[in-house]
């Protein structure tokens, strides 16, 4: 197992280099001329200014040279400068990361709890209407376009019924001191400001639900499958024969083992959350890296979109690595609750 | 093993024709029909102003009119051709390219395998939507470019799947027997190995048609796919988002995406239950 973890860890730098190379390749084939982003249209006719800009931005160097510089810069966390905001991409991303993380965490919380609950219920009442309803709910979750569901729910719950606030992380007129973590919920708790906490949570409900729904589907399906596998095994029959109550059989015996394959999916569903966050943030005017990516893509702001893509790939790779290592460490086939059935 | 205690199936219909599959077939057939023949349904011109702008649904315009006075129902039905075409092209090319590379990697081994699989690792290291956005932003807006971006994101899935299948099948006895009989490599790969590898690819492809429709619509929603005035669903929802209080503009295309993707997911689900006994349930 240690060999496996070492192999995975050693592969990481190579994968990251591959990812950086892919990004460099994209930035080379793009039709967007980086020069036109830094030099004004009129000055384009002035060869001196063009030459100076080329030298300043390293555009006069050969492609292999630029590649090496690019990779070295990336390794130092320098993603270049955004054409649109004129600020370093790394700074833009860092400023927007907490908003995305907060949204993704709450979406994950909703997706996992509802997914496990639905999966257990579906397995317990197999082939009943509950099972079918859970399956349909899960399928809808992975079939709907989040950018549309968000829009419709926002219209119904916020505009028509007025139960929930509109888009954004906070009410438009509310001004709060930025806290140390950048997570509005955590900052509110740290400051002991309950009104702020309530506002942050009420703004999180809809986007987290919309984003988490797809995860609900993935997880409930898997929990149902592995619950059914586990419920057929001898030790569950033994537990039942010993007179264990149904609740104890389901949660004490079956779910504990069914959760192990589920844990890996929870880790891997991070990818779905990143994907979904990009679109959810756009609908809910959420100032995170997802809406940053979309705004950048819309304006063909190449350094910014590549920067977000690289950060996304890194987060994705790390979460998969952590998940796989956790899986290897908690290998399910070795122990079960200290060896007692 | 799940079937041990199950009631015997009714004989009237074949085993693969379960309720979800029937539902999926109906929905998908409807949209295919719309894609092929929307022009013949006597609908309003999807590109022309046919009524006052921003009219809510009425007897005349069932799904209302958009900001330019175009009929939303007509545009929604006409939109099927773009979504289906892009999905079929993307999945088709991704399956062909990915399967070819994956099969060669699994069959030849050595540096071919190393090269292909490391490339697969790198592409799969990106979150799909972000990579598709980056590629599409690199190429510029347009449906063709969106298709290229989606193919670039999708082929590695099939390469990995096909390589795994080939590695598994090639150790079977009938392959050894064929090798012993002196069957040439190309024929060995095509006749004796690949013919047994298609089932999971087919299931995956069916499920992926829905996912590609979703992602293609997302690219258009962002502004990287279809360009105006194309009646593409993602672009229509994007237009609806800017006319927030006229909810009907986004309602039609959204329902269209939801139902067509659900249809393909039902089909894929049903196919998996039938074709792939190992992952039953």
Residue pLDDT, tens place only, B103-147: 999 989 889 998 999 899 889 888 888 889 889 888 888 899 999
**Contact B143/B82 with Cβ under 8 angstroms?**
yes
Decide if pLDDT at B10 tops 60: no
Q: List, in order, residues 6 or more apart from B22 with CB less than 8 Å away.
A: none
pLDDT of A34 reads 66
Residues of B in contact with A144 (CB under 8 A): 254, 257-258, 261
**Which of A53-57, B4-8, B9-13 is the least confident region?**
B4-8
Q: pTM for the full model?
A: 0.85
Q: Give the count of Cβ contacts less than 8 A between chain A and B.
A: 150
Categorize the per-residue pLDDT at B216 as very low, low, confident or very high, splitting at 50, 70 and 90: very high
Interchain proximity B265–A143, CB inside 8 Å: yes
pLDDT of A235 reads 79
Which neighbouring-strand residues pair with A81?
Answer: A88
Task: Give the residue from B119, B266, B1 showing the smallest Cα distance to A139.
Answer: B266
Interchain proximity A274–B129, CB inside 8 Å: yes
Please give the residue of chain B at the shortest CA–CA distance from A233: B1
Nearest CB to B241; choose among A26, A151, A278 = A151
Instruction: Give the DSSP per-residue string, B100-140.
Output: HHHHHHHHH-HHHHHHHHHHHHHHHTS-HHHHHHHHHHHH-
Please give the residue of chain A at the shortest CA–CA distance from B237: A148
pLDDT of A37 reads 66
Decide if pLDDT at A253 tops 80: no
Residues of B in contact with A300 (CB under 8 A): 137, 140
Q: What digits encode the pLDDT tens for the residues A96-105?
A: 989 999 999 9
Q: Assign residue A82 a region: left if phi > 0, alpha if psi is -120 to 50, beta otherwise? A: beta
Residues of A in contact with B240 (CB under 8 A): 151
Tally of CA atoms within 13 A in the half-sphere of A87 that contains its CB: 9
Categorize the per-residue pLDDT at A256 as very low, low, confident or very high, splitting at 50, 70 and 90: confident
The b/e string for A212-236 (b: 16+ C-beta within 10 A; e otherwise) is bbbbbbbbbbbbbbbbbbbbeeeeb
Tally of CA atoms within 13 A in the half-sphere of B160 that contains its CB: 13
Interchain proximity B133–A309, CB inside 8 Å: yes
pLDDT, average across residues A123-132: 88
Q: What digits encode the pLDDT tens for the residues B59-90?
A: 788 888 888 888 888 899 999 999 999 999 99
State the Cα–Cα distance between residues B175 and B197, nearest whole angstrom.
Answer: 13
Q: What digits encode the pLDDT tens for the residues B251-273?
A: 999 999 999 999 998 888 777 77
Residues of A in contact with B269 (CB under 8 A): 139
Say yes or no: B240 contacts chain A, CB-CB below 8 A: yes
State the Cα–Cα distance between residues A297 and B131, nearest whole angstrom.
Answer: 11
Q: What digits encode the pLDDT tens for the residues A225-242?
A: 888 888 787 877 888 888
Residues 200-229 of B with CB under 8 A from A: 210, 214, 217-218, 221-224
Longest Cα–Cα distance of chain A, Å, equals: 89
> Could you tell me what percent of chain B has a pLDDT over 70?
93
Q: What digits encode the pLDDT tens for the residues B137-171?
A: 888 888 999 999 999 999 999 999 999 888 888 88
Categorize the per-residue pLDDT at A340 as very low, low, confident or very high, splitting at 50, 70 and 90: very low
Interchain proximity B118–A18, CB inside 8 Å: yes
**Contact B219/B136 with Cβ under 8 angstroms?**
yes
State the Cα–Cα distance between residues B276 and B269, nearest whole angstrom.
Answer: 10
Residues of A in contact with B254 (CB under 8 A): 144-145, 148-149, 151-152
CA angle A9–A14–A20, rounded 5-degree value:
125
Chain B closest-CA separation from residue A286 CA (Å): 15
Chain A closest-CA separation from residue B154 CA (Å): 14
Decide if pLDDT at A32 tops 70: no
What 3-state DSSP class applies to A279? helix
Please give the residue of chain A at the shortest CA–CA distance from B280: A225
Nearest CB to A316; choose among B118, B125, B269 = B125
Positive or negative, the Cα torsion across A113, A114, A118, A124?
Answer: positive
Q: What digits encode the pLDDT tens for the residues A135-193?
A: 888 888 888 898 899 989 988 898 888 888 888 888 777 777 777 788 888 888 888 88
State the Cα–Cα distance between residues B218 and B67, nearest whole angstrom.
Answer: 21
Q: What digits encode the pLDDT tens for the residues A265-298?
A: 777 777 678 778 888 998 898 999 999 998 888 8
State the Cα–Cα distance between residues A218 and A200, nearest whole angstrom.
Answer: 27
């Amino acid at each position: 197992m240690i060999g496996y973890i070492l192999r995975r860890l050693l592969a990481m730098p190579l994968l990251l280099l591959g990812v950086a190379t892919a990004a460099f390749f994209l930035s080379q084939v793009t039709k967007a001329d980086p020069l036109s982003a830094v030099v004004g249209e009129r000055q384009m006719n002035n060869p001196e200014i063009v030459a100076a800009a080329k030298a300043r931005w390293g555009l006069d160097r050969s492609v292999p040279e630029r590649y090496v510089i690019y990779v070295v810069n990336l390794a130092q966390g320098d993603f270049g400068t955004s054409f649109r905001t004129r600020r370093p991409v790394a700074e833009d991303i860092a400023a927007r990361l907490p908003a995305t993380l907060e949204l993704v965490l709450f979406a994950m919380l909703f997706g996992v709890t509802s997914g496990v609950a639905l999966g257990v219920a579906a397995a317990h009442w197999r082939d009943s209407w509950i099972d079918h309803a859970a399956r349909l709910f899960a399928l809808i979750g992975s079939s709907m376009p989040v950018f549309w569901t968000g829009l419709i729910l926002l219209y119904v719950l916020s505009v028509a019924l007025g139960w929930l606030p509109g888009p954004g992380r906070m009410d438009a007129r509310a001004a709060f001191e930025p806290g140390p973590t950048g997570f509005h919920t955590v900052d509110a708790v740290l400051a002991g400001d309950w009104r702020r906490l309530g506002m942050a949570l009420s703004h999180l409900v809809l986007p987290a639900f919309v984003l988490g729904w797809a995860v609900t589907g993935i997880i409930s399906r898997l929990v149902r499958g592995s619950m059914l596998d586990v419920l057929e095994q001898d030790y569950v029959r033994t537990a039942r024969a010993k007179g264990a109550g149904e609740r104890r059989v389901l949660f004490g015996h079956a779910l504990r083992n069914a959760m192990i394959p589920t844990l890996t999916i929870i880790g891997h569903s991070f990818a779905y959350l990143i994907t979904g966050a990009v679109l959810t943030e756009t609908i809910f005017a959420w100032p995170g890296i997802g809406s940053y990516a979309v705004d950048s893509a819309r304006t063909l702001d190449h350094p910014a979109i590549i920067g977000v893509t690289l950060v996304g790939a890194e987060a994705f790779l790390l979460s998969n690595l952590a998940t796989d290592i956790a899986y290897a460490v908690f290998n399910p086939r070795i122990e079960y609750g200290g060896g007692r059935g | 093993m799940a079937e041990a205690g199950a009631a015997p199936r009714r004989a009237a219909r074949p085993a693969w024709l379960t309720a979800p599959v029937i539902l999926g077939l109906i929905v998908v057939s409807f949209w295919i029909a719309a894609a092929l023949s929307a022009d013949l349904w006597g609908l309003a011109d999807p590109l022309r102003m046919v009524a006052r702008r921003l009219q809510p649904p009425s007897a005349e315009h069932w799904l209302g009119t958009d900001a330019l006075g175009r009929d939303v129902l007509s545009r929604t039905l006409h939109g099927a051709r773009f979504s289906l075409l892009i999905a079929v092209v993307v999945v088709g090319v991704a399956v062909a390219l990915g399967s070819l590379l994956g099969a060669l990697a699994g069959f030849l081994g050595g540096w071919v395998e190393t090269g292909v699989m490391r490339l697969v690792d790198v592409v799969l290291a990106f979150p799909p939507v972000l990579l598709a956005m980056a590629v599409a932003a690199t190429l510029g807006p347009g449906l063709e470019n969106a298709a290229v971006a989606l193919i670039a994101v999708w082929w590695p899935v099939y390469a990995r799947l096909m390589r795994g299948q080939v590695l598994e099948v090639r150790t079977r006895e009938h392959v050894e027997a064929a090798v012993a009989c002196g069957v040439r490599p190309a024929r060995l790969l095509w006749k004796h190995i690949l013919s047994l590898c298609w089932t999971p690819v087919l299931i995956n492809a069916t499920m992926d048609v829905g996912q590609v429709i979703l992602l293609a619509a997302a690219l258009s929603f962002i502004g990287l796919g279809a360009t105006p005035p194309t009646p593409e669903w993602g672009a229509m929802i994007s237009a609806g988002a800017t006319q927030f209080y006229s909810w009907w503009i986004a309602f039609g295309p959204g329902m269209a995406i939801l139902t067509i993707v659900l249809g393909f997911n039902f089909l894929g689900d049903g196919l998996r239950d039938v074709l792939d006994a190992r992952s039953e349930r």
